[in-house]
């Protein structure tokens, strides 16, 4: 088992005829993801990567039964693409696109919440359930299947941790790359809830970073709702205040969003905090045997 | 991208927000064309707090104004020299209000923020009122609601609401992160006038706002030289004070690598996230940018290729090493197309380190 996606997930790719869409469709297919079609308005009827291209999301859903869409369209077109998928009733949408204007992001999430659609991202690596399904741009071979759930605001740092765990012989149930933007859909709390309910996840790793108060809110949520052990990590503990550290959301402003505040919140919620990525692996190794007793 | 006051006021006027009838001058002598006295002279810099530092002066006649204009043109405000002076007739202020619209991550959307008193210390004021614009769905009653929260009554509710309507227009039309009027004044005739303003245009949105084309370079402040250059060629670099140059891909991994350098006793010279899917040329620009700081003793390259092709990075590193055979490089290159990259690195005589902690320790040892 897993969360959000599995071997039965039927995926369409919006922007499948673009360079990035095509490249990653091939990589997702090579991993075993069931890509059932693609959408590029005006290019319906073509075939790309061995799957049919449709003019609209609603047509793609109707003809293929897709229940998930991955969006690889340029930033200024991403809102329209996502609204189309929401309108077509796709229950899970992953927006990989980076650089979506914030005013568009607000509209996207408002529309998704209204319809009860789960949006992953934007500006995220997507989701992977190792051995079953990959949506987005995770390098699949870096992970192995297992019973650890991983939630992360960062893409490459997720790969780093997945790789470290694999080298230690530890696999993941699912890794959810929630994205580095200030406003995101599937957040830490939603992911925590899903992993708590997943019978095949034993431990949860929560990889946060400076900026905003999502980790503090997640910690509050963990206190009352999460029984499974949670291991936390905060990137950017040595970042200077007032500087945007790559991600639009990674900035300490007005004394808010510091690593110290997040670490304290984690510790107060009983989350073990790793100081380095390799320490995360060590902590998982300590917790795992204790659980099988 | 932060606009100067006179540029912000131009956008205000285009959306119908009244401002004083101002004139922009670039030489002190231009002040003699000004006919209205007393007047206000305001330095046009991008940094805040200019009033306290002498950047705003009042003048009663042309000679007084000429002298003050000369002073202001010579006055540096926190490292920023004035681009121009905005000359406005001095206004009669009956009341000052603060009002802004900005994106707030806690509310997951834009909010109207206001306070019944305007002023410079607004961030620390405890009288701030907030009206969220849920889902970005603005309607005029939200502006009137804020007016009521500020204690305004009667016609002032409509006048203030009207200002907020127009501020919303500025905010959406120009893809702003922030539009702020501080102070919004009520003048002797009871009119609401934007006496000072601040606008920040969202940088990710500049590509669809052609009116701001080419303006970014002249609107960046508080940036070090490498940060300015990085911004101009789409590289996320933050200057730090050590001697280990860092080049990684992805914000989180770059932060983690920076943290690790400190953890193992070293000091990073910078944070540089080369972004996703960088090609050889982009990585080469990034390497050159990091190495342009003379303090840098070693370059620590940590790339986990997902969307990034390790071969592109390897080719950039090979090129870098050819030009600077004596440069110290510690390279970790894992992921997409790793084997082919390994071969290029071998041919170039660059050793690779597979484990992140080892790579960081190695770089710290070289830099020590």
Q: Are B353 and B362 in contact (CB under 8 A)?
A: yes
Distance from CA of B292 to the nearest CA of A (A): 20
Residues of A in contact with B103 (CB under 8 A): 102-103, 106, 182-183
A152 touches chain B (CB under 8 A): yes
Q: Is the pLDDT of residue B222 over 80?
A: no
Q: Which of A70, A55, A212 is nearest to A136 (CA)?
A: A70
Q: Are A233 and A277 in contact (CB under 8 A)?
A: yes
Residues of B in contact with A212 (CB under 8 A): 105-106
- The span from the CA of A109 to the CA of B187, in Å, is 41
Over residues A66-122, the pLDDT tens digits come to: 999 999 999 999 999 999 999 999 999 999 999 999 999 999 999 999 999 999 999
Q: Quick one: CATH architecture of B223-367?
A: 3-Layer(aba) Sandwich (3.40)
Over residues A233-272, the pLDDT tens digits come to: 999 999 998 888 988 888 888 778 999 999 999 999 999 9
Task: Identify the closest residue of chain A to B231 by CA–CA distance.
Answer: A246
Q: Quick one: CATH architecture of B21-89?
A: 2-Layer Sandwich (3.30)
Question: Exposed, middle or buried, A97 (CB in 10 Å: 0-12/13-18/19+)?
Answer: buried
pLDDT tier, A293 (very low <50, low <70, confident <90, very high otherwise): very low
Q: Is the dihedral of CA A31, A37, A40, A45 positive or negative?
A: positive
Catalytic residues of B: 98, 180
Residue-level pLDDT at B121: 63
Residues of B in contact with A125 (CB under 8 A): 306-307
> What is the token pair recorded at B84?
């121009």
Question: What does pTM read for this prediction?
Answer: 0.93
Q: Quick one: CATH architecture of B93-212?
A: 2-Layer Sandwich (3.30)
The DSSP string of A88-150 is: TT-SEEEE--S---HHHHHHHHHHHHHHT-EEE-SSS-EEEETTTEEEES--GGG--EEEEEE
- The span from the CA of B213 to the CA of B195, in Å, is 27
Q: Is the pLDDT of residue B287 over 60?
A: yes
Q: Is the dihedral of CA B7, B9, B11, B13 positive or negative?
A: negative
Question: Exposed, middle or buried, B231 (CB in 10 Å: 0-12/13-18/19+)?
Answer: middle
Q: Is the dihedral of CA B342, B344, B345, B346 positive or negative?
A: positive
Q: Is the dihedral of CA A90, A96, A99, A105 positive or negative?
A: positive
What ipTM was predicted for this assembly? Answer: 0.93
Distance from CA of B279 to the nearest CA of A (A): 14
Helical segments of chain A, H only: 19-31, 57-64, 75-87, 102-115, 156-167, 188-197, 214-225, 259-268, 277-292
Residue-level pLDDT at B124: 63
- The span from the CA of B256 to the CA of B359, in Å, is 13
Distance from CA of A160 to the nearest CA of B (A): 7
Q: Which range scores top for mean pLDDT: A102-111, B213-222, B275-284?
A: A102-111
- The span from the CA of A96 to the CA of A23, in Å, is 13
- The span from the CA of A85 to the CA of A58, in Å, is 7
CB distance A154–B260 less than 8 Å? Answer: no
Distance from CA of B155 to the nearest CA of A (A): 31
Over residues A123-152, the pLDDT tens digits come to: 999 999 999 999 999 999 999 999 999 999
A212 touches chain B (CB under 8 A): yes
Query: In the predicted model, what is the mean pLDDT of residues B192-207?
Result: 96
Over residues A182-241, the pLDDT tens digits come to: 999 999 999 999 999 999 999 999 999 999 999 999 999 999 999 999 999 999 999 998
Query: How many beta-carbon contacts under 8 Å exist across A and B?
Result: 171
* Phi, psi angle pair for B212, to nearest 5°: -100, 10
- Assign B162 to helix, strand or coil: helix
Of B137, B256, B259, the CB nearest to A160: B256
Secondary structure, 3-state, B74-85:
CCCECCECCCCE
Over residues B34-76, the pLDDT tens digits come to: 999 999 999 999 888 899 999 999 999 999 999 999 999 999 9
Task: Identify the closest residue of chain A to B358 by CA–CA distance.
Answer: A278
Residues of A in contact with B136 (CB under 8 A): 103, 106-107, 110
Q: Are A266 and A219 in contact (CB under 8 A)?
A: yes
Q: Are B245 and B270 in contact (CB under 8 A)?
A: yes
- The span from the CA of B120 to the CA of A98, in Å, is 35
Contact partners, residue B346, CB within 8 Å, separation at least 6: none
CB distance A250–B255 less than 8 Å? Answer: yes
Residues of B in contact with A151 (CB under 8 A): none
Q: Are A118 and A126 in contact (CB under 8 A)?
A: no
> What is the token pair recorded at B354?
């597979």
Rg of chain B over Cα atoms, rounded to whole angstroms, equals 26
Average pLDDT, chain B: 94
CB distance B256–A158 less than 8 Å? Answer: no
- Assign B184 to helix, strand or coil: strand
Interface of A with B in 104-123 (CB under 8 A): 106-107, 109-111, 113-114
Residue-level pLDDT at B125: 67
Q: Which of A103, A257, A171 is nearest to B205 (CA)?
A: A103
- Angle at the Cα of B22 from the Cα atoms of B20 and B24, rounded to 5 degrees: 155
- The span from the CA of A168 to the CA of B361, in Å, is 21
Helical segments of chain B, H only: 5-14, 62-73, 140-149, 155-173, 225-232, 251-263, 280-291, 310-323, 338-348, 356-367
A207 touches chain B (CB under 8 A): yes
Over residues A29-47, the pLDDT tens digits come to: 999 999 999 999 999 999 9
Order of all β-strands in the sheet with B329-335: B236-239, B270-273, B244-248, B298-305, B329-335
Of the CA atoms within 13 Å of residue B359, those in its CB half-sphere come to 25
Task: Identify the closest residue of chain A to B268 by CA–CA distance.
Answer: A238
* Phi, psi angle pair for B102, to nearest 5°: -150, 165
Distance from CA of A136 to the nearest CA of B (A): 10
* Domain ranges, ordered by start, for chain B: 21-89, 93-212, 223-367
A258 touches chain B (CB under 8 A): no
Helical segments of A139-206, H only: 156-167, 188-197
């Amino acid at each position: 088992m897993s969360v959000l996606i599995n071997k039965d997930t039927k995926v369409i790719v919006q922007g499948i005829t673009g360079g990035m869409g095509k490249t990653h469709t091939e990589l997702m297919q090579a991993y075993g993801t069931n890509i059932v079609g693609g959408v590029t308005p005006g290019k319906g009827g073509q075939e790309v990567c061995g799957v049919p291209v449709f003019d609209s999301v609603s047509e793609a859903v109707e003809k293929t039964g897709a229940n998930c869409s991955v969006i690889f369209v340029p930033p200024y077109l991403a809102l329209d693409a996502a609204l189309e998928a929401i309108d077509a009733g796709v229950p899970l949408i992953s927006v990989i696109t980076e650089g979506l204007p914030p005013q568009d992001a607000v509209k996207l999430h408002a529309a998704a919440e209204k319809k009860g659609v789960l949006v992953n991202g934007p500006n995220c690596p997507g989701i992977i359930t190792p051995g079953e399904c990959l949506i987005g741009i995770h390098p699949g071979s870096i992970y192995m299947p297992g019973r650890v759930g991983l939630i992360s605001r960062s893409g490459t740092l997720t790969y780093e941790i997945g790789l470290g765990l694999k080298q230690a012989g530890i696999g993941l149930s699912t890794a959810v790359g929630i994205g580095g933007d200030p406003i995101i859909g599937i957040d830490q709390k939603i992911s925590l809830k899903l992993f708590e309910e997943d019978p095949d996840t034993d431990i949860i790793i929560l990889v946060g970073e400076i900026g905003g108060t999502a980790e503090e809110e997640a910690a509050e949520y963990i206190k009352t709702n999460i029984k499974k052990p949670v291991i936390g990590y905060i990137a950017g503990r040595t970042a200077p205040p007032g500087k945007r550290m790559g991600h639009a959301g990674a900035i300490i402003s007005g004394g808010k969003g510091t690593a110290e505040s997040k670490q304290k919140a984690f510790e107060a919620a009983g989350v073990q905090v790793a100081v380095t990525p390799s320490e995360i692996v060590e902590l998982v190794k300590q917790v795992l045997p204790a659980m099988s007793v | 991208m932060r606009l100067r006051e006179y540029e912000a006021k131009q956008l205000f006027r285009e959306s119908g927000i009244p401002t004083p009838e101002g004139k922009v001058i670039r030489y002190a002598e231009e002040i003699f064309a000004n006919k209205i006295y007393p007047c206000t002279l305001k330095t046009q810099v991008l940094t805040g707090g200019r009033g306290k530092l002498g950047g705003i002066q009042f003048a009663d006649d042309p000679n007084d104004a000429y002298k003050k204009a000369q002073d202001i043109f010579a006055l540096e405000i926190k490292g920023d020299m004035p681009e121009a002076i905005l000359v406005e007739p001095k206004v009669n202020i009956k009341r000052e209000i603060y009002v802004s619209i900005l994106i707030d991550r806690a509310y997951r959307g834009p909010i109207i923020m206001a306070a019944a008193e305007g002023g410079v210390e607004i961030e620390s004021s405890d009288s701030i009122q907030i009206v969220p614009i849920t889902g970005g769905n603005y309607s005029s009653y939200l502006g009137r609601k804020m007016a009521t929260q500020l204690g305004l009554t009667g016609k002032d509710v409509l006048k203030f609401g009207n200002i907020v309507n127009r501020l919303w227009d500025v905010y959406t039309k120009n893809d702003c992160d922030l539009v702020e009027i501080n102070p919004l004044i009520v003048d002797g005739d009871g009119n609401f006038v934007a006496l000072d303003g601040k606008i920040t245009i969202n940088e990710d949105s500049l590509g669809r706002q052609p009116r701001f084309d080419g303006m970014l370079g002249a609107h960046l402040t508080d940036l070090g030289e490498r940060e300015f250059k990085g911004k101009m060629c789409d590289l996320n670099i933050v200057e730090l004070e050590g001697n280990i140059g860092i080049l990684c891909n992805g914000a989180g991994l770059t932060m983690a690598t920076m943290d690790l350098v400190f953890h193992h006793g070293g000091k990073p010279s910078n944070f540089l996230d080369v972004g996703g899917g960088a090609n050889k040329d982009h990585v080469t620009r990034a390497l050159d940018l990091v190495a342009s700081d003379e303090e840098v003793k070693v370059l620590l390259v940590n790339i986990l290729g997902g969307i990034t092709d390790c071969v592109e990075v390897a080719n950039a590193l090979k090129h870098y090493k050819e030009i600077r055979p004596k440069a110290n490089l510690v390279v970790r290159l894992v992921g997409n197309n790793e084997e082919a990259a390994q071969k290029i690195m071998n041919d170039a005589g660059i050793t690779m380190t597979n484990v992140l902690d080892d790579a960081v320790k190695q770089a710290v040892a070289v830099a020590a």
